[in-house]
Structure 1
Amino acid sequence: MKKFLLFIGGLIALLVLLANLGPMVILGVSIWLLYVIFKKFIKSDSTAGKVGWVILGLVVLSITFSNMFAVIGLAAAFALYLVITNWKKDKDDPVVSEVEEDDDPFKNFERQWAEINNY
């Protein structure tokens, strides 16, 4: 049942990621453009050049804010990563799987400690 729920969650995360892939690319490009514009603004000597870079920066900033819902795609990518890592976890922990019925209470201490930590 756990694998089925992980599969469904991963499928939903993948679909959300694919649906937001375009806005995620545009968001990344616009953030890069803002960086370039800031560098050009700092290097500009004239006042007219600085005003031009500020106006261009505001236009690119509006494009950036219009694609802010692409953060949902980043969250979906993270959720997909979590699903994949939980899918690969091995259920057979050698400490837990080693069960010996004996009268010595200290012989299976590690197994009991692992069982306590799992709850």
Structure 2
Amino acid sequence: MKKFLLFIVGLIALLVLLANLGPMVLLGVSVWLLYVIFKKFIKSDSVAGKIGWVFLGLIVVSIAFSNVFAVIGIAAAYILYVIYKGWKEDDEPVGPKPNGDPFDNFEKQWAEFNN
């Protein structure tokens, strides 16, 4: 039952991620553009150039803030990652090996303790 619920939550997270893929891409492009604008602002020597870069930066910041739905997509991607890790952990067997002695590890540790 646990794997079924993980599958359903993962499916919902995947759909949310796909629905917010566009805003995520635009947010990434906006952050990259802000980095480029900041570098150009630092290199600019004239006051008019700096004012132009600040104006352009404000426009790009407004575009970035309009894509706040990208945060929901990032959260969905994180949920998918956590579900993937949880799914892999559930596959490992719990307890002693089927063919091994359950006290095998105990005897090794006891021998190390005595030495």
Aligned to 1:46: 46
Q: Distance in 1 between matches of 2:61 and 2:35?
A: 11
Identity of aligned residues (%): 70
Q: What is the correspondence of 1:74-89 to structure 2 with a 5 Å cutoff?
A: 74-89=74-89
Q: Secondary structure at the match of 1:92?
A: coil
Q: Between Structure 1 and Structure 2, how many residues are aligned?
A: 101
Q: Distance in 1 between matches of 2:32 and 2:59?
A: 14
CA displacement, residues 62-84 of structure 1 (integer Å, 9 cap, x when unaligned): 00000012100000000001111
1:32 paired with 2:22, answer: no
Structural RMSD (CA): 1.7
Aligned to 2:73: 73
Q: Distance in 1 between matches of 2:104 and 2:12?
A: 42
Q: Which runs of 5+ in 1 are unaligned?
A: 100-106, 111-119
Q: Secondary structure at the match of 2:45?
A: coil
Aligned to 1:97: 96
Moved beyond 4 Å, runs of 4+: 107-110
Aligned to 2:13: 13
Q: Which runs of 5+ in 2 are unaligned?
A: 107-115
Q: Which amino acid aligns with 2:93?
A: D
